[in-house]
Amino acid sequence: MSPQSAAAVESDGRIRCGWSEGSQLYRDYHDLEWGRPLHGDDALFERMCLEAFQSGLAWITILRKRPAFRAAFEGFAIERVAQFGDADVERLMADPGIVRNRAKILASIHNARVARDLGESLDTLLWGYAPTPRARPRGLSDVPAVTAESTALAKELKRRGFKFVGPTTAYALMQATGMVDDHIADCWVNVSTR
């Protein structure tokens, strides 16, 4: 998820990244999750799937639908999703609680199978592309949409057979899971990467 504006002072007097304005859901996500290091194969698989589903949509749409996504995709447990078949695809396509995009649904199931059969942990693979920690961005213009690391990660994921994870989606995944800390320099949230 990319910040929409540099920084905002909220009613509680805290300075936050500007994109967290306007919604308690955004604010909670910003304060409690975004940019904090996340580990675990299933947890990272969930974020990978949700970032892919978000492509072309506002992140708030995904946040609002996240409980339904979690229920529909059985907690994003890789082993469970990897076993989904045609009946599951039709069930998901009929579920109004999620984004009903057949290509993204099929990609999520496919990606679960790839993750299951990796031969290494998804966590190890993804975090292996985390860049060296750097200074926080001073403003929106300092926040990239793509980096050399996200491009390399996307290329490796594609080589391994993953779908719907291009360089921009890979970078959003890096931001969301704390592989990079793109909180604006003045933001109150203090995360440590890794």
Annotated binding site for Zn(2+): 17, 30, 183, 187
Options 51, 127, 149, 171, the catalytic residue: 51
CA of residue 180 relative to chain centroid, distance = 12
Cα–Cα distance, 3 to 187 (Å, whole number): 12
Q: Across the strands, what pairs with 7?
A: 17
Annotated binding site: 17, 30, 183, 187
Whether 34 is catalytic is no
22: left (phi over 0), alpha (psi -120 to 50) or beta: left
Residues 6+ apart with CB under 8 A from 123: 39, 40, 41, 44
Q: Given 19, 29, 127, 129, which residue is catalytic?
A: 29
- Does the annotation mark 19 as catalytic? no
Which two structure tokens, joined as six digits, stand for 108? Answer: 């999520």
Catalytic residue among 19, 26, 34, 59: 59
Amino acid type, 168: T
Asked about 29 being catalytic, the answer comes back as: yes
- 3-class SS of residue 8: strand
Active-site residue set: 29, 51, 59
